[in-house]
Amino acid sequence: MQITLQRQPIDHIETNALILPVFQERREDRLGLGELYDAGEITGKSGEITLLHHVPGMRAARLLAIGAGKPAKFNAAELRRAVGAAIRHLKSKSIKEAAVWLDESEAGAGYVSAAVEGAILADFETDRYKTEKKDKKSLDAFTVALAGGGPHHEAAVERGRILGEAQNFAREMANEPSNRLTPLALAEYARRMAEEFGLEYEVLDRDRMAQLGMGSLLGVAMGSAEPPVLIILRYQPASPHDGSTHLGLVGKGVTFDTGGISIKPADGMEKMKYDMSGGAAMIGAMRALAQLKPAIPVTALIPAVENMPGSKAQRPGDIVTSLSGKTIEVINTDAEGRLILADAITYAQRLGCTHLVDAATLTGAVVVALGHIHVGLFANDDALRERVMLAALAEGERMWHMPLDDDYKDYLKSAFADLPNVGGRYGGAVTAAMFIKEFADPTPWVHLDIAGTAWLDEGKPFMAKGPTGVPLRTMVRLAMDWQ
């Protein structure tokens, strides 16, 4: 998609369709819209779409008025959604070119970036493997139009393009079927990206992980014919750094999860190709960071495995020794994500990471608790938690701080090993986080359970059904804003 910036009066914009955000409680009189407000055809409610043709006084062929809700609640995240909804509507009409007009109050750099992101994200479709694409529709060109502004707007357009393309890159990986996206194939995605954008790349194979003692990670992979890998991507800033901060991003990369011997029900199991969404988001975040260039070093680690019930598969009751030296009784082989994260987090500490964030489609319990709206956020450090929460708020990726009191450790007791991999029926998302905390401490650490937010079971007006790319934007903002 071609992305451009124009500085023109609203009635001078030449395009197939001009998108104009309109609001509740703020009557829009330009371009004859006041009459439609009076008639009740336009209310400004969030997501409302009114498409007009050949509006007098306009050079644009069409005007799409997109409801943006109440002005007091409008922000960059709402603009991102509004532009996305408008683009998907225009695509359905086979319109190939569009622009969005931003008034002075909406023309800050964050809004410009969000508008570009919204258009790019809305253009993504999940029909890659359909052979008949008679109705294939895409947007060829998108313009952000405003009356004036300075050079920071060009930088905002570029930032929006980088973030939107990185998020779609992560969504592309998460949408791949598991017969095509094996752990080695995921590593190949990462390798090609690293070479293109100048990141350091390394992969640990099964033999190297065995030499190191990653028994927790390797135990999960025992039932699969597909070899496991630990993918490592490194970004180093060009300017010397004081060395006090090294951010580690750890993403769960289970390319397919049957549950292993503790096998999942058949209903819905096909969606388990998305169980590497955390890993995909971290790879995508590194793609963006390689271009945006934060001031701190960032290392991403993606433990990639397939969890299968083969003849050599890990069994309930098995005891494994993690890289940290702690022993784990495997009570449920379907609680595999925390097992691979444990070793990846320990290795991140050995690589010198001073602050850690992991993202994982970890538990169904977090979906029960928070639905498909909020990411469950757990932390052992208040300062890092606040950094992540502020980054998420700025990027419109909703997160909710969950408890991690020491009392929850009482659920994680084993008579045979240092700890079990599950803690019983109650507080499943919390006990999963508490398990990971045993390996993260004392390093400042945040755990993001994205099981309910990494995938859309039904498409939204602004985004296609399937992978979302959460929490890529938050991770990029976290690294870029680090002071």
Count of Cβ atoms closer than 10 Å to residue 423 Cβ: 22
H-helix or E-strand spanning residue 85: helix 76-92
> Exactly one of 70, 137, 264, 326 is catalytic; which is it?
264
pLDDT the model gives residue 135 = 66
Judge if 119 and 168 occupy the same domain. Answer: no
Reported pTM: 0.97
Q: Tell me the per-residue pLDDT of 180-216, one tens digit each, with 9 for 90 and over.
A: 999 999 999 999 999 999 999 999 999 999 999 999 9
Phi, then psi, of 461 in degrees rounded to 5: -55, -25
- pLDDT level of residue 131 (50, 70, 90 thresholds): confident
Give the mean pLDDT of the chain: 96
Residues 307 and 443 in one domain: yes
In which domain, by residue range, is 216 found? 164-480
Q: Is the pLDDT of residue 274 over 90?
A: yes
Q: Cα separations (Å) of 348 from 54, 124, 400, 439, 483? A: 58, 33, 25, 11, 21
- Residue 306: CA atoms inside 13 Å, Cβ hemisphere, count? 20
Please compute the mean of the pLDDT values over residues 414-433 and round it to a whole number: 97
Rounded Cα–Cα distance for residues 437 and 317 (Å): 22
- Both 284 and 406 in one domain: the answer is yes
Domain count, the chain: 2
- pLDDT interval class at 54 (50, 70, 90): very high
Q: Does residue 380 share a domain with residue 256?
A: yes
Residues 107 and 245 in one domain: no
Domain assignment present for residue 156? The answer is: no
For the domain that residue 70 is a member of, what is the CATH number? 3.40.220.10
Do 62 and 203 have their domain in common? no
Q: Looking at the domain assignment, is residue 201 inside a domain?
A: yes
**Same domain for 117 and 182:** no
Active site residue 338: yes
State residue 18's pLDDT score: 97
Q: Is the peptide bond before 471 cis (omega within 30 degrees of 0)?
A: yes
Active-site residue, 252 included: no
> How far, in Å, CA of 157 to CA of 148, rounded?
14
292 plus 375 within the same structural domain: yes
Catalytic choice (159, 171, 338, 385): 338
